[in-house]
Each structure stands twice: as structure tokens, then as C-alpha cells.
Chains A and B, each alone.
Chain A
């Protein structure tokens, strides 16, 4: 009975996503049942939409920059957390992890106030990246904590005893061992930034990101089938990225002989 419930729950979980391709290939212009016929027109329309292309390019730039910066900050924090003891460690780590539980609307409005009201700067993709790094870093830390935790300190000590410097040890021993964690963290941060709407909605200037562009389209019923086609592609890409991230995470744990404790978080 429990198994039946869980299967029903998974169907509930996947129901909305499963509908995306249904309407993406439906020739009717109204997103409703009954379906009309099969068409590829909506996918073809994506190829000629220049606004969409620039929004996509913006989003890829933002997500790429965000993931690299978040993982750099995440590496420092996770390394400090697992390897060193210093005064105020718990408080500092707590502060860095807070964005994980801060409603995004608060992050968005507080940064908007600072940027526009206190400094009078203009909003751009830079402000979006700055905010995205803030919310992605805790996710990177969570993943990298696990990587550093399963790293045997004896390996680094051995390298130093054998004459490597601290930096060459990090490059030759530590980095290759935690690389799967780094890749997993990069991919997760990329996915979060690519999909993030509310912060981008508040902090983007004239350049829109993909979710902000999709939001603007949702008001126009005649654009909806095209959004369904776009959504279908996005879901497939996200699932591929996540599968790659998960595969990397498991590979990393297997490489260091650790036990898989499950999920990303």
C-alpha cells in the first residue's frame, strides 16, 4: 500500500512536466484538451525568435559566471570548514549558509534597495550575477563539504612529506580527488541560476534573462505553444545536466572509497 502511495506521489510530482511535450507537439493554439494534431511548428518558431536568443545568451552568461564564482567561494568555505579550526567558525559558516533559508523575494528587494536607492547604480546582468552567487554558494558548499569530508588528510600529508609544496599538493592531489564534487557543484549552480526567476525579475535591467522573458510571454496566450516547446527543451537539458552532476558526484564518492549517503543536499 505504501508502494502504491509512493508511485501515486511520483505521478503527482511529474504530472506538470509530463504535460509539456504533450502541448509542445499539439497543433492547436489553445493550451487545453482535446488535442488537435501533431506539429513541429512551435519548435521551428523558436529558431527565428531573436528576443529569445538574446535572453538565452544572457542567461547562459549569467549562469556560467555565477557557477564559477559560487564554486570558488564554495571551495574556500568548504575547505575552511572541514580542514581548519579557527575562532568564530560556526558563526561564519552559519552566516554564509543563511541565503539557503532566506526567501528569495527578501534577497531581491534588499539588493534592489541598496543598488538603486543607496548607490544610485543602474541594474544590469552584473547585479543578477552578484545575487545569484549569493544564493548558489550555499549549495556549492553543501556539495563540496561532502567532497572534502571524504578526502583522506593522510594523502595530502604524504605528498608534503614527499617534498611537494602546499600549492602543488593542492593541485596534484587534492584537486583531482575533489574534481567530481567541483563539477557537480558547477552544474547544480548553473541549473539554479538558469532557472531562477524572482531575483532576476527584480535586478535585471534592460537585458532580460530567459525566465524573465518566459514570464513576459505567459501573458500572451498566442505565445503559449512556443513556450511549451521551449519548456520541453529546457526540461530535457536540465535533466541531462542533473544526470551528469549526479553521475559525477557518485564517481567522486566511489573514487575515494566512501559510502553513498544519497542526494545532493
Chain B
């Protein structure tokens, strides 16, 4: 028994210490670093909260942080809403022998050429883009669609159709779709189908059985999907940089500018720490809220 414990510890040690050295250590370092300051190329190691005061005080940082959370939140909701029916279809309506083929089809785009996928949205949404070509072919100006749907970048007309927050939302929702489908699918797969039959036998309609049985049982998967989409979107750099324009930049772009552009690495570190804290708080709050809601029932 003692021997077994030793073997287990011996096996977990290398991956554990790798994660400590390359993740926990650096995370601690970036927190320490965020309390330093930098003047051009010299780093002053005197601890100060000046960066945090500036990060929370400066309206530019506040605006970018607010926009980041707004965009990520919207992306998360849209992605999970769009993903649920797909996960439901694969779990409930696809023959079991073909389920993994479907999941494979859904995940392939996620694994291929992230940069180019984002870039191609620029091609689809941009001036002379696919969308515009189709709309002009059927004689519908993009502005009309924009006014009808309330989508801002469409209303602004063809001169600057692409660069805005809504283009970022659309592109990110596309990029993270498989992330949302998989956890919901796993939760739906675990549902005992006889529970649904029982609900129907006891007089529920298909709709009420879905709302009162399927949905609550799928909740853990939905919460996991919300988190697994929200967390990486907050830190996404490529999409806002490609399709965001000045009105769609997010916190990761600001962090990158501080590190590699403005030579103010401590400020970049401060923004990274703040982003990390906000994400952690929101993630924990979501989990807590989900537990509360399922506890009440």
C-alpha cells in the first residue's frame, strides 16, 4: 500500500512540478511584476500600486475592460444558445454508431488554421466581401439589412462595414462554437432516457418534459460551456486585432501593446492580472449561482 502511494507520487511529480515551474511560478512573477514600474527601458523594482491606480482610473483602460467583458459575455450567450440545439440533435436524434462521426465533423474546423479562419471572416464581412456580393446580387443594400436588424456595422454602410465590436462578436462566436457543443453534448448523453419516458407517462408534454427534465439535467453541461467559452474569449487577441478595428479592441490587444509596443511591460502585467482576477471572480460566481439555482429546485 505504502509502495503504491510512492509510485503514484513519483508519477505525478514530473507533470506537477512542470506546471508549478511554468505556470504557478510565472503567474506569481507576473503579480509581483505588476507592482513595478518601467521608464522607457529601465525597470524600477520599488513596489508601488501606481499601475493599478492608473488601470482603474484611466477611462481608456476602463472602457477597454468594459468592452472586453461586454463582448465576451455576448459571445458566450450567443455561442451557447446556438450550440445547444446542435448538441441536443447529436445526442437525441443521431444514431449512436454515428455520434462520434458527427462530433468529429463539428470539431474539425476548430483544430484548423485559427489565424486564417479569423482572416477569412474579414473576407466574408468586408467590402467586396462574400456577404456584400450576395446582397448586391439580390439588390439588397447592406445598410437596409443593418437598419432592419439593428446591427451597427451594417448600418454604418459599406465604407466601413467590418471594423466594429459586432464583427468581433460574430467571429468569436464562430471560433468557439465547438467548445460550447462538447460539454453540453456530454451532459445530455448522461441523461437517463427512461426519465423522459416517465415524465411523458406522468402527463408532461414533450415541451414541458424538456423544460422540467432535460434542461435541468443538462445544466452542468451548460455551465461548463458558458465558462469554457467565456474564459478564453476574454483573452483573445487575434480576432479583435483582425476584425475589430479601433472600436472593437479588447484587453489582450492592450496587454500586447503595453508589452511589445509601448515598452511598458509592468502596465501590461497589471492589465493581465486584473483580467485574470475578473475572469476568476465571474467564473466562481457563475458556478456558485448554478449551484444555488440547482439547490433551490
Contact = CB atoms under 8 A, between A and B. Distances in A.
Contacts of B232: 101, 103-104
B222 interface: no
B12 to A, nearest CB: 4
A76 B100 contact: no
13 contacts: A17-B112, A32-B129, A84-B4, A92-B12, A98-B19, A102-B23, A104-B235, A114-B26, A197-B114, A214-B116, A242-B107, A263-B103, A263-B104
CB-CB nearest 9 A-B residue pairs: A103-B235, A84-B8, A32-B128, A110-B26, A16-B120, A86-B8, A80-B11, A263-B103, A33-B133
Interface in B58-110: 82, 85-86, 88-90, 93, 99-100, 103-109
A51 interface: no
Contacts of B114: 195, 197, 211
Nearest to A12: B174
Interface in B1-44: 4-5, 7-9, 11-12, 14-16, 18-20, 22-27, 29-30, 33, 43
Given A95-B16, A101-B227, A195-B112, 12 more contacts: A6-B85, A16-B124, A23-B123, A32-B129, A33-B129, A73-B14, A80-B12, A84-B5, A110-B29, A130-B22, A131-B22, A238-B113
Interface string B208-220: 0000000000000
B268 interface: yes
Interface string A33-52: 11000000000000000000
Contact of B29 (A81, A84, A113): A113
B85 A2 contact: yes
B89 A2 contact: yes
Interface of B: 4-5, 7-9, 11-12, 14-16, 18-20, 22-27, 29-30, 33, 43, 82, 85-86, 88-90, 93, 99-100, 103-109, 111-117, 119-121, 123-124, 126-130, 133, 174, 177-178, 182, 185-186, 189, 227-228, 231-232, 234-238, 242, 252, 255-256, 259-260, 265, 268-269, 272, 275-276, 279
Contacts of B124: 15-16, 19
Identify the interface centre among B120, B237, B276: most chain A CB within 10 Å of its CB.
B120
Contact of A262 (B26, B185, B242): B185
A251 to B, nearest CB: 12
Contacts of B260: 202
Given A77-B12, A102-B23, A134-B23, A235 B115 contact: no
Nearest to A23: B123
A212 B127 CA distance: 26
Given A105-B235, A113-B269, A134 B116 contact: no
A17 to B, nearest CB: 6
Contacts of B237: 105, 198, 201
